[in-house]
Chain A
């Protein structure tokens, strides 16, 4: 298998009130294409920061991040925006849907950055919504959908541009057990059926069980690497 993500000596330091606050220190590891990686750790351990760095919405203080062979730390903000649109699918804890757009329009949103015609965009968005089982909710706005349904719309939005890498930040954190299980099933399918590489930050041990590989962060440092099955065992 090829390497989807490669991190080399990645560090991130924030500066607050003139004081340096290290968040990540000397992070190095690889993620293979088609992996389903779970990132775990206590609050403030730096797992969301690491996810943001991999997704290209934050820049490392030092080190190298190669995603699909591209050193994203070297890209300008404009180049990064274009790169994210083409290569990354985002799933957020609170869904981050546009409240004024209906489900179909929300899913169509990332396609506005492509050269597709309005008709093609609609067809793609409908297909993505069908994949997450929301064909009958296309014209509904987020406030007319349950939490689970909103997260499914967010997943449809994440996959509509067919990115290779999907980053999910606590995707089940705001859902009840049943809805969370449905979302995890969906992520499983995206990984197993469509071959998407998924990196998921989670606190939830049930969610972590779905990952093929778990990495633990504590105080900004990578602790160990273990197949998820071991944690289950």
Chain B
């Protein structure tokens, strides 16, 4: 019996071809837009997801723009639970034009790269980088974007640290994990420090952040507190948090945008829900006589309601399925266009499930009112609708 009604609901769903086509098209667009917007939100949090809980970031407690003395590294090594200490500076250079944005960091390579096993290097290339102070390493995505090869010279114009810099590409690293961003450039902190020493001697031997490896991720809070206690009442007090929390603090600055995107995604679904409810209401009204006939033959209100819910779910499944499938190529294209803004722009499993849930909700909720109304239809009144 259920299969019979599934077939009947399927045939009912596509009875008016144009209406069914337009409804399905609407759902496809809504689910696609929903998926795309959700992917933007995921991409926004991409850096947070890729960040580690077992790495800590120590920065100046006042603000990230205030540096910390490099000498702190010795004290940091003494803190119980800290296994590695490295440091890095945000460089903010411009490659030819300002629109060519990509993150660049001056790092203490010998200590920094071992903390990031998610960057996969060719051993020989890595060795070449470590031995050449004027060299840099670039991620695969970045290298592909500008067609850089080993040995190419990359000119960068400093915006925070004025001057023209030239780096030789010594290595191109790959991502060991799917969510690792390879749209990055690293060069030697010592080179930057030399330049700062020439330009602003008082600001030399300082770093933007310390990156710390710890022995146990579950002790991150305890170790962070120990570090900040150590530098309490010093000239540069510290604020230590996990790398994930550090990344999240950046996202929090733009949270209003994320909330707005999420709201738009929900509105899109609400709109298609209303359109779908209208479609189902029209269909149910047109078929009042048929539902009355079913009831006259002995079928209960539940059967009538089931037919409408099934029809609505089938339309939603059809539109939702196509919408979900279309999300992949559209997201790939979108990700390619916005490569420099969202280096990790891909549909997550979570987004897919949300799309499935949204399509199911559209199908189910849109059917509620017409299903209840049709289930309650008076047989005599419904039969009068025929003729």
Contact = CB atoms under 8 A, between A and B. Distances in A.
Interface of A: 52, 55, 57-58, 78, 81-86, 90, 92-94, 96, 98-101, 105, 108-110, 112-113, 157
Given A81-B300, A85-B298, A92-B293, A100 B15 contact: yes
B386 A94 contact: yes
Interface in B364-387: 379-380, 383, 386-387
Interface residues of B, number: 21
Nearest to A167: B296
Interface string B279-296: 000000000011001111
29 contacts: A52-B379, A52-B380, A57-B379, A57-B380, A57-B383, A58-B380, A78-B300, A81-B295, A81-B298, A83-B298, A84-B298, A85-B299, A86-B298, A90-B296, A96-B289, A96-B290, A96-B293, A96-B383, A96-B386, A98-B293, A100-B8, A100-B15, A101-B8, A105-B8, A110-B297, A112-B1, A112-B4, A113-B297, A113-B298
Contacts of B299: 81, 85, 112-113
Contacts of A82: 298
Contacts of B297: 84-85, 90, 109-110, 113, 157
B302 to A, nearest CB: 10
Contacts of A58: 379-380
A110 B298 contact: yes
**What 10 pairs between A and B have smallest CB-CB spacing?**
A85-B298, A100-B11, A96-B293, A57-B379, A84-B298, A112-B1, A94-B386, A94-B387, A81-B298, A110-B297
Interface string B1-45: 100100010011001000000000000000000000000000000
Contacts of B15: 99-100
Contacts of B300: 78, 81
Give the interface centre of B1, B294, B296, B386 by most chain A CB atoms within 10 Å: B296
Contacts of A78: 300
Give the interface centre of A58, A100, A157 by most chain B CB atoms within 10 Å: A100
Contacts of A86: 298
Nearest to A113: B298
Contact of A57 (B289, B290, B296): B296
Given A55-B296, A93-B387, 9 more contacts: A84-B296, A94-B386, A94-B387, A98-B293, A110-B297, A110-B298, A112-B1, A112-B4, A113-B299
Nearest to B2: A112
Give the interface centre of B1, B293, B387 by most chain A CB atoms within 10 Å: B293
B290 A98 contact: yes
Nearest to A48: B380
Nearest to A85: B298
A55 B295 CA distance: 12
Contacts of B380: 52, 57-58
Contacts of B1: 112
A14 to B, nearest CB: 10
A58 B295 CA distance: 12
A98 B296 contact: no
B211 to A, nearest CB: 66
A110 B294 CA distance: 9
A104 B298 CA distance: 18
Contacts of B296: 55, 57, 84, 90, 96
Contacts of B12: 100
A51 to B, nearest CB: 10
Give the interface centre of B297, B299, B383, B387 by most chain A CB atoms within 10 Å: B297
A55 B383 CA distance: 13
Contacts of A94: 386-387
Nearest to B15: A100
A112 B7 CA distance: 14
Contact of A98 (B8, B379, B383): B8
Contacts of A52: 379-380
A143 to B, nearest CB: 11
Contacts of A157: 297
Contacts of A108: 4
Nearest to A109: B297
A10 to B, nearest CB: 16
A85 B300 CA distance: 10
A39 B386 CA distance: 21
Nearest to B295: A81
A58 B384 CA distance: 13
Nearest to A87: B298
Contact of A92 (B4, B11, B383): B383
